[in-house]
């Protein structure tokens, strides 16, 4: 049975009317931040190659970030969850690295980078640190590409473990959660054929590791999922 605590962060935050509990609330932060109107499903937040103008903190809902090549092929590079910051990988080049689209109703807060640079007490060293963080994000993307060379069952298991830990960090159940992205989008993100993803999900179901119902997922045996994820190490 799927219980109420399996609600997505987007639905639960809307119900309570609360934002992110750890989001800075100082007057200085409020001066450089601005809550934007809610994004509807499939609405574009930023476009690939667009000039960088700020960071977006995801308050509720989820987004996907995609890179499009010259032949108009899409590769999903990120799924952004509540608490994530969109645009960190754009700071160093001052261009957004991909197209970011809402997967469901999404609330974001814009942090204007020009105002961050003028932030009281901001110095060159701090700006260099921000640049360092941007490069660190780009290195993390490189590590993700390395992961994509791993066996498909390992990739899928690590994906669900990452999602589980993300929900747990937000105060939600790490075992039951709703994901607005489609199976095709999950397969694209992991550089897998849709048929491979479906076959692996069926195997996880037969093994008693996970169960699914539409967009709802349940991890039934966390230890077994962790063993699959560690099998390539």
Domains of the chain: 4-147 (2.60.120.10), 152-229 (1.10.10.10)
Separation of first and last alpha carbons in the chain: 35
Tell me the pLDDT tens digit for each residue of 41-79. Answer: 999 999 999 999 988 989 899 999 999 999 999 999 999
pLDDT at res. 125: 52
Residue 89 confidence class, pLDDT cut points 50, 70, 90: confident
- What are the backbone angles phi and psi of residue 36, rounded to the nearest 5°? -95, 160
Mean local confidence (pLDDT), 175-180 = 96
Return d(Cα 177, Cα 174) in angstroms, integer.
Answer: 7
Query: 5-17 burial, b if ≥16 CB within 10 A, otherwise e?
Result: ebbbbbebbbeee
Whether residue 90 has pLDDT greater than 50: yes
Residue 203 CA to residue 190 CA, distance in Å, equals 17
Q: What is the pLDDT of residue 19?
A: 52
CA 92 to chain centre: 20
Sequence-distant (6+) residues with CB within 8 A of 215 are 178, 179, 180
Q: What pTM was estimated for this model as a whole?
A: 0.79
pLDDT digits (tens, 9 = 90+) for 102-149: 999 999 999 887 776 666 565 665 666 566 566 656 666 665 666 677
Average pLDDT, the chain: 82
Residue closest to 187 by CA, chosen among 40, 64, 47: 64
């Amino acid at each position: 049975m799927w219980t109420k605590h399996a609600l997505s962060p987007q639905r639960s935050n809307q119900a309570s009317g609360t934002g992110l509990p750890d989001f800075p609330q100082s007057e200085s932060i409020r001066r450089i931040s601005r809550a934007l109107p809610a994004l509807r499903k499939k609405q574009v937040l930023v476009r690939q190659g667009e000039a960088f103008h700020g960071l977006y903190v995801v308050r509720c809902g989820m987004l996907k970030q995609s890179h499009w090549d010259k032949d108009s092929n899409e590769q999903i590079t990120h799924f952004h969850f509540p608490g994530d910051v969109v645009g960190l990988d754009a700071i160093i080049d001052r261009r957004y690295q991909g197209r970011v689209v809402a997967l469901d109703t999404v609330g974001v807060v814009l942090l204007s980078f020009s105002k961050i640079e003028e932030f009281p007490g901001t110095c060159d060293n701090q700006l260099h640190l921000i640049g360092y963080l941007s490069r660190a994000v780009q290195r993390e993307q490189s590590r993700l590409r390395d992961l994509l060379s791993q066996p498909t069952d390992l990739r899928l298991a690590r994906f669900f473990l990452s999602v589980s830990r993300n929900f747990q960090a937000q105060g939600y159940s790490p075992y039951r959660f709703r994901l607005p992205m489609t199976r095709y989008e999950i397969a694209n993100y992991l550089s897998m054929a849709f048929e491979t993803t479906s076959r692996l999900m069926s195997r996880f179901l037969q093994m008693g590791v996970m169960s699914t119902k539409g967009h709802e997922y349940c991890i039934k045996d966390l230890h077994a999922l962790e063993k699959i994820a560690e099998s390539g190490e």
